[in-house]
Amino acid sequence: MRSACWPCIFGTAALVILASAISIPVGLAGGVYLAEYASRGVKTFLGFMVDLLSGTPSIVMGLFGFTLILALRQTLFPGAQVGLLVAAGCLALLILPYVIRTTESALEAIPEHFRLLGPGLGLTRRQNVQRILLPLAGRGILSGVILAIGRAAEDTAVILLTGVVAQAGLPRSLWDKFEALPFRIYFLAAEHQNTAELNQGFGAALVLLGLTAGLFLLAFLVHRSVEKRWKTK
């Protein structure tokens, strides 16, 4: 069981880390822009696009990644194929709205007297956002990050069309096929031949819960570290 699950654990962790590395910085920047810099018209338009993206079914996002690879094969990159990077990119698009909206909401919920603290001390707008508003909104932002990590770890529909396969082993590059715990659980639940294989599916589900909890803990520790660094500046 351990040797069979290790490629799935590695693939899931790599998938979540890559998707988070793509979506979280973009989501934070987008949330800050919408809350602090965008005009009313731009905010309305971009907010509508974010809501539209958040309502996109995960299977549609998987189809988008698969279609993109087909288009690239026929145009610029004949050797393009689905794999770990494509799956992570599609997952990043799927979880991006959660980070944007929670960041925006956390910043907009800050009371006005805290917003005036930075300008009263002579800070510029950027310094006020960086040193006052973001630390105050940190816990709300963290909730969006945790939600995004959880969604990236559990989603199966996206990766079904973008590179996950059974018995793929460890990926040797970002373009390789990969295994993932959500797909293994789905595969064993649907195709098990005996009780032992079904029990392996239950075991994989427990491993996925543990991995997700570990990722949540890592996100919390990173937040605490960043919060302390902001407070010492």
| Percent of the chain whose predicted confidence (pLDDT) is above 90 | 21
Question: By C-alpha distance, which of 11, 54, 38 is closest to 169?
Answer: 11
- Helix, strand or coil, per DSSP, at residue 164: strand
Spell out the domain ranges in the chain: 2-232
pLDDT (tens digit per residue) in 14-59: 998 999 999 999 999 999 999 999 889 999 999 999 999 988 888 8
More confident residue, 228 or 194: 194
| pLDDT greater than 90 at residue 216 | no
What is the residue-wise DSSP string for 80-139? ----HHHHHHHHHHHHHHHHHHHHHHHHHTS-HHHHTHHHHTT--HHHHIIIIIHHHTHH
pLDDT band at 2 (very low <50, low <70, confident <90, very high): very low
Any idea which residue has 């693939």 for tokens?
11
CB 215 within 8 A of CB 154: no
The CATH class that applies to domain 2-232 reads: mainly alpha
pLDDT band of 227, cuts 50, 70, 90: low
Residue 4 has pLDDT above 80, yes or no: no
Using CA atoms, how far apart are residues 56 and 54, in angstroms rounded to an integer? Answer: 6
Residues 60-74: pLDDT tens digits?
Answer: 888 888 888 888 888
Question: Which of the four pLDDT bands, split at 50, 70 and 90, describes residue 141?
Answer: confident
The Cα 58–Cα 216 span in angstroms is 22
Does the pLDDT of residue 229 top 60, yes or no? yes
